[in-house]
Amino acid sequence: LAKTTQPISMDSYEGQEVNITCSHNNIATNDYITWYQQFPSQGPRFIIQGYKTKVTNEVASLFIPADRKSSTLSLPRVSLSDTAVYYCLVGDSGAGSYQLTFGKGTKLSVIP
């Protein structure tokens, strides 16, 4: 499983765009990049997944450069309710392993 590195914490004011970058230098050809969000005392919640270039859904965008050694989760116009821990996961379930390996994530604090 590819190791990921992301900032431990970030602060942002309400209404701003937040970009959280994750490094995954040893990402494999078959690996997808997946981001989860976790609120206190709740289970992780799937946000977005991508393989290359850009993916956008109703919640976030995911930017992946051509070398795929990093990815950036972009949250537009954050609100107080976006305060949570965000996890970047990289893995290939095609290799036979379906377990998700969570790191410590990035704790985002949105300030009014």
Partner 1 sequence: EPEVTQTPSHQVTQMGQEVILRCVPISNHLYFYWYRQILGQKVEFLVSFYNNEISEKSEIFDDQFSVERPDGSNFTLKIRSTKLEDSAMYFCASSELIRAKNIQYFGAGTRLSVL
Residues that bind partner 1 in the complex, under the rule CB under 8 A: 30, 32, 34, 38, 41-46, 49, 87, 91-94, 97-104
Provide the minimum distance between the beta carbon of 112 and partner 1 in the complex, in angstroms, as a whole number. 25
CA distance 53 to 84: 25
Provide the minimum distance between the beta carbon of 102 and partner 1 in the complex, in angstroms, as a whole number. 4
Strands (E), 1-112: 9-13, 18-23, 32-38, 45-50, 53-56, 61-64, 70-75, 84-91, 106-111
Provide the minimum distance between the beta carbon of 22 and partner 1 in the complex, in angstroms, as a whole number. 15
Nearer to partner 1, 45 or 77 (CB): 45
Nearer to partner 1, 95 or 111 (CB): 95
Nearer to partner 1, 78 or 89 (CB): 89
What is the radius of gyration, based on Cα positions, of the chain? 14
CA distance 8 to 92: 24
Nearer to partner 1, 15 or 103 (CB): 103
